[in-house]
Chains A and B, each alone.
Chain A
């Protein structure tokens, strides 16, 4: 059974690239999306083990993405990844497991992923 990937969603291409490269280096399977709509398509393709979700994005934002996920009857483990001052409140609002406030460094990123990613679903 193939490993369930981590889905990284952010509209900033640099953040998207560095985060996915860090996770890749740590041995995680990663898929990326630049907005909520692309993220939904990725979820439909393969249900991720964890979602790192930016909130303010064009086309479909974090709130819209979570609404669509609930409508599909899916339950995902989500970590909100935002630069906003309201990070914790937003996390509670959408029912996220955790919050990763920008700017973060890669150790925090890796620790967060290891902490919130459900165990036994991937690492070979």
Chain B
């Protein structure tokens, strides 16, 4: 036996072995994909057996044998295309054309007297080459699109088809240039063996090989899994887990849905929109918001979608090979996401149901039975990560609660301290006045002492009112009924109030037309008075305070600008906080409680507005307030309507 013969026998044996293997698997689990594999390798087996027997017997084969051999050879391309279709879509036109070509060529070789005319023989070879080359390209495209183990399988399928194409080209050349028969045979045997090996690993990979191919992705997933729980938000963690699971399985997509025991729904997020992936979708539809309106979120009711949630309902990993058939009610959804087959596995931490891991693929053969264990392994890993995330969250909640309690305690003790100080002044001053009067009833009234008494009483009153406002700020009730008002008028009033205490150094800049907003006039005047009084308090007595009102887009705005001490940069974000006073404020000069701006912010925010500041230490501050504007003109319309009513 020559080396060439050995090579040939080896490749034949390989093909026969693969045929037996896929046949056994098809009998165990008769899916369309398994049937296609059996047909493909069956055709090759027929080809091998018939040609070997014919060659060994050294007789001219009967015509039916020749016809059967020819038909088996010609059907290879068509059967390969069916295998392509098991992994992705094949245009119907290409499928039909291949079928027609197959019928024509089989009829041709059956009724044409042998030997075939060379033109027809060459046409047959060209047909085969075209079909198999098409399959090669289709597998190569799939290999580029799919991740992990499926990518490797598709690469092997593409390589096998390339070898088969080469084998056909070589056979064609053998017919054309029969001078080098030995060389052609040798080449043909070699590429035949190569294609056999490739097809074997592509369509019937043994479990150990599958696992070996899955290992790098699995390793990468596990290596990164430890740090996942430190990602900033749950959504990112879920997306990383989904990506890891999809790539480990060699599937295009995976989803994690988290169980909410209150609503009895599984909640998931759509992946962030990736323009490349979106373009790949058959209908070109971008993945966006879910049925529930919340951006990018979807939910699944296990009772309503029992097929998708099978892994969750049964609490064990489950493979569904044909979603469209099993769950026709949701066929449109599955088609939209190009999902025909699904493995779902429960994510369960000890006994607590955390959620469900779903791994989708467009075609069933992407998965093998052994993948069920793998998906469960990934789901268990996800359970550990999500559980530890939950613990981290819980710790954060406890810390936040403690912080809130501490802030409240601080608030109470600061409030008590601030109340006691003027109270001490009032008590001692009043007793002092009384004692003086008792000792010398004829003495003139102590104007200085009385003045102090009044000042401290006012201070205490302001503080009590402020504290009451603060306690009401926690609830939305601080701001009462709102009415449309012209900010120009409100500012005018606040300035004339402030002018009483601060002299006539406030300058007003207002536009000629009204600037309207809906405000609780009393509360909003409190904000304005506070801002203007602050400006007067923290700036030199001879400097100007400028108050402006204007309309900006959909906002009614105002600003209060002073040329005072300014707010240090590090204090700027804090000036609107409770009891915060900037560190450059001298307590003796500026008696204040540190509540004014906090209350102002609360009032503005309860109006749906914003308050902020722009300040340069030493050069002055400008406080801004923006409220949602009332469309200009609506007030005029109302006025006109009112007039009509009045005149009618």
Residues of A within 8 A of B (CB): 11-15, 17-19, 21-22, 25, 34, 56, 58, 83-85, 102-107, 109
Supplied contacts A83-B416, A83-B421, A84-B417, 16 more A-B pairs, CB within 8 Å? A11-B588, A12-B424, A14-B452, A14-B456, A15-B421, A18-B425, A18-B429, A18-B432, A56-B417, A84-B413, A103-B426, A103-B427, A104-B424, A104-B427, A104-B428, A105-B428
Q: Are A102 and B421 in contact (CB under 8 A)?
A: yes
The CB with the most chain A CB atoms within 10 A, among B425, B426, B432, B586, is that of B425
Check B427 against A83 for contact (C-beta < 8 Å): no
What are some 13 contacts across the A-B interface (CB < 8 A)?
A: A11-B587, A12-B424, A15-B425, A18-B452, A19-B428, A21-B432, A56-B417, A84-B413, A103-B424, A105-B427, A106-B431, A106-B435, A107-B431
**B423 at interface (Cβ–Cβ under 8 A)?**
yes
Q: CB distance A22 to B428 under 8 Å?
A: yes
Q: How far is the CA of A84 from the CA of B417 in the complex (A)?
A: 5
> B432 to A85, Cβ gap below 8 A?
no
What is the total number of residues of chain B having a CB less than 8 Å from a CB of chain A?
25
* Residues of chain B within 8 A of A21, CB atoms compared: 432, 449
Q: Is the CB of B429 within 8 A of A14?
A: yes
Q: Give the residues in chain B near A83, CB-CB below 8 Å.
A: 416-418, 420-421, 424
Bound state CA distance, A19 and B432, in angstroms? Answer: 9
In the bound assembly, the distance between CA atoms of A112 and B426 in angstroms comes to 19
Residue in A12, A14, A25, A85 whose beta carbon sits within 8 Å of that of B436 in the complex: A25
Are the CB atoms of A34 and B588 closer together than 8 Å?
A: yes
Provide the bound-state CA to CA distance between A85 and B409, in Å.
11
The answer to whether B420 and A105 touch across the interface, beta carbons within 8 angstroms, is no
Q: Report the bound CA distance from A84 to B419 in whole Å.
A: 10
Given the interface pairs A15-B425, A15-B428, A22-B432, the reply to whether A85 lies near B416 with Cβ below 8 Å is: yes
Q: In the complex, which residues of chain A have a beta carbon less than 8 angstroms from the beta carbon of B427?
A: 103-106
Q: At the interface, yes or no: B301 with Cβ under 8 Å from chain A?
A: no
Cβ < 8 Å to A, chain B residues 403-449: 413, 416-418, 420-429, 431-432, 435-436, 449
* Contact yes or no, B435 A25, CB < 8 A: yes
Q: Which residues of A contact B588 (CB under 8 A)?
A: 11, 13, 34, 58
A43 vs chain B, min Cβ distance (A): 21
A105 and B425 form a contact (CB under 8 A): no
A14 in complex: contacting residue of B416, B455, B586, CB < 8 Å: B455
B contact residues around A102 at 8 Å (CB): 420-421, 423-424
Give bound CA distance, A20 to B432, whole Å.
11
Residue numbers in A under 8 Å from B413 (CB-CB)? 84-85
Closest approach, in angstroms, between the C-beta of B571 and any C-beta of chain A?
A: 16
Tell me the smallest distance from the CB of B568 to a CB of chain A, in Å.
16
CB neighbours (8 Å) of B455 from chain A are: 14
| Cα separation A22 to B588 with both chains bound (whole Å) | 22
**Smallest beta-carbon distance B112→chain A, Å:** 110
Which chain B residue lies CB-closest to A85?
B413
The answer to whether A106 and B424 have CB atoms under 8 Å apart is no
